[in-house]
Amino acid sequence: MKRIILTLFVLLLASGAWAKTKMPEPKVVKINARVYALLGPMGQPSSHNQGYMVNSTVIIGDKGVILVDTGATDEVGKNIARTIAKITPKPVTHIINTHHHGDHILGNVAFPGAVILSSEQCRIWVEKTGDEWVQLMENMIGRKFPNTHPMPATVTFKEESRNDRSLQGVKMLLWVPRGSHTAGDMMVYLPDDKVLIGGDILVNTTVPVMRDGYVRNWIAALEQVQKFDTVAIIPGHGPLMNQADVAKLHKLIADFYAGVESGYKKGLNDSEVRNTLNLAEWKKLKGYEENIGSDISRAYLEAEAANF
């Protein structure tokens, strides 16, 4: 009987029923003495990556760390915390959330006592949809996260505002453009370091996801991004960017929307519009098959509203 039980146990482990894949480590890129990009893996949350698939930024201040975006679960947040501890012994005292999507905010819970900052709309959407994001992450990863729950910001900033702040002795501009990737995006610019942290308004080598987006605002925001003086740009997903990469993304989305709007004006439905678009550059990006249909649908709805 013992041999049978042992055999079943081994089979369960081999099948993955009890085994848990080890969470990947971030790629740490030192921008300068106080700014580090933690580049997460690419792709959708899954059992393979344990929900870790987002970029974070570590900013080392006088007595503490400002962390931009914290990951999709408490475990991802703890994984990021372990990486930070290898960089500096200073605690995380402030968290900045670039928008409300769960892969960027559900790790907040791993940093008790930290002050959380976001746009006003981000806070509202975390309160409205945070529990849904926990459930979505559990479904995609394939297990429960009982210690993960949404923690909204306590300090917020209005839409279409530029807010100069100093946190832990670090000067920063917290820019809330009109809703672009989501209704409540916020970007962080460090003028002394010439570093821009973009959230998912900026993505690199992956499809810009428009499901919750406002495409025309997004295009306008990318135009403004190109006016910043930067030596490094940290996107929400993918490798570090420069201004040439931003210009390429700007053109990609602007041309995409123009094509969708042109099709709408010709009386085509969204399925018919797809056949008229030049998607050669989009097909080179990660996540093309998963997202191109919803991106077209979202852009089509905007074109319809703009031309009603």
Cβ proximity of 77 and 104 under 8 Å: no
Instruction: Please report whether residue 5 resides in a domain.
Output: no
Would you state the pLDDT for residue 15? 39
Domain that holds residue 150: 20-242
Question: How many Å apart are CA 158 and CA 140, to the nearest integer?
Answer: 33
CATH of the domain at 171: 3.60.15.10
Point out the least confidently predicted range of 3-12, 20-29, 262-271, 282-291.
Answer: 3-12
Quick: pLDDT tens for 14-50.
Answer: 334 344 689 999 999 999 999 999 999 999 999 999 9
215-225 helix and 243-265 helix, angle to the nearest 10 degrees: 150
AA identity, residue 29 = V
- Going by C-alpha positions, the residue among 160, 149, 205 that lies closest to residue 183 is 160
DSSP for residue 81: H
Cβ proximity of 179 and 214 under 8 Å: yes
Helix (H, G, I), strand (E, B) or coil at 58: strand
Quick: pLDDT tens for 108-120.
Answer: 999 999 999 999 9
- Average pLDDT across the chain, whole number: 94
Check pLDDT > 60 for residue 70.
yes
Question: What average pLDDT score do residues 120-131 get?
Answer: 98
Sign of the alpha-carbon torsion through 79, 81, 83, 86: negative
Quick: pLDDT tens for 73-108.
Answer: 999 999 999 999 999 999 999 999 999 999 999 999
Would you state the pLDDT for residue 55? 98
Instruction: Please report whether residue 39 resides in a domain.
Output: yes
- Going by C-alpha positions, the residue among 235, 220, 209 that lies closest to residue 290 is 209
Would you state the pLDDT for residue 20? 64
AA identity, residue 104 = H
Question: What average pLDDT score do residues 282-288 get?
Answer: 98
Question: How many Å apart are CA 39 and CA 240, to the nearest integer?
Answer: 8
Question: What average pLDDT score do residues 162-189 get?
Answer: 98
Question: How many Å apart are CA 114 and CA 292, to the nearest integer?
Answer: 37
Banded model confidence at residue 308, pLDDT cuts 50, 70, 90: confident
Instruction: Please report whether residue 172 resides in a domain.
Output: yes
Count CB-CB contacts under 10 A for residue 186.
Answer: 30
- Domains of the chain: total: 1
- Going by C-alpha positions, the residue among 93, 84, 86, 89 that lies closest to residue 170 is 93
Question: How many Å apart are CA 246 and CA 248, to the nearest integer?
Answer: 5
Check pLDDT > 70 for residue 8.
no
Quick: pLDDT tens for 137-153.
Answer: 999 999 999 999 999 99
Would you state the pLDDT for residue 100? 98
Instruction: Please report whether residue 289 resides in a domain.
Output: no
Quote the tokens at residue 34. 């106080």
